[in-house]
Amino acid sequence: MPQVVTPCNNMPGYSMYAAQHMTPAVVIDKFDGNVLRFPEFNRKFFKFVDAVYDDLDIRMSHLEALCVGEARNAIEGLSANPDRQCAYEMGWRRLNGRFGDPTALIRKVQNELQGPPIRDWDGKELTILRDRMFNYESVYEAWGRSGELNSTDVLMKVFERLP
C-alpha cells in the first residue's frame, strides 16, 4: 500500500503545497527492490521526505516504512544503530549499491525482452513485448546509451520472439 507523505502535520493527508493549491498529497509507492522502479523511488523520497524533514529519525522511519521485500532486507538492522546519521547514510549507500547501478537496470530491461516466440494470434504478448521495448528505449536514452539501441544482440532478441 502506498504511503502518504504529509509534511504539514496539521492537515493529515495533505502537504503544505497541496493545502495551498488544493491538490492531493504526494503518494510514494513502497519500493520492493525492482531496479526499474528505483530511480523514481529515489527521486520522490529525496524530494518529498529528505528535503522536508530535518529529523533523521523521521527520515529513517519513512525509509524503513517504504522499503519492502528485497529492499527492506538491504537496510534491515540499521534502525538499531544509535547514530541516526550513520544509519540513514548507510541505508542509502546500500540501496544505491544494490538497486541504483545503471548496469543492473539495463541488464534487467534487456532480460525482459527475452522469452519464447509469440504466436501470431497472441495480441496480449505482443503488447507486453511492445511495452518492454518502450521501457528498454527509455532506460537507454535516460542513461545516454541510445546509440546501443540498434545493437545486433538486442534486435535478435526481439526478432526471435516475433510471429
The per-residue pLDDT for range 26-39, each reduced to its tens digit, is 789 999 999 889 99
Same domain, 53 and 115: no
- Distance between the two ends of the chain, CA-based, in angstroms? 38
Q: Is the pTM of this model over 0.75?
A: no
Same domain, 44 and 119: no
Q: ∠ CA 83-57-54 to the nearest 5 degrees? A: 105
**Hey, what amino acid is at 151?**
S
The three cell numbers of residue 11 are: 492537515
For 12-29, the pLDDT digits (tens) are 444 444 445 555 677 899
Same domain, 45 and 123: no
Residue range(s) defining the domain that contains residue 14: 3-99
Q: How many residues does the chain have?
A: 163
Same domain, 146 and 86: no
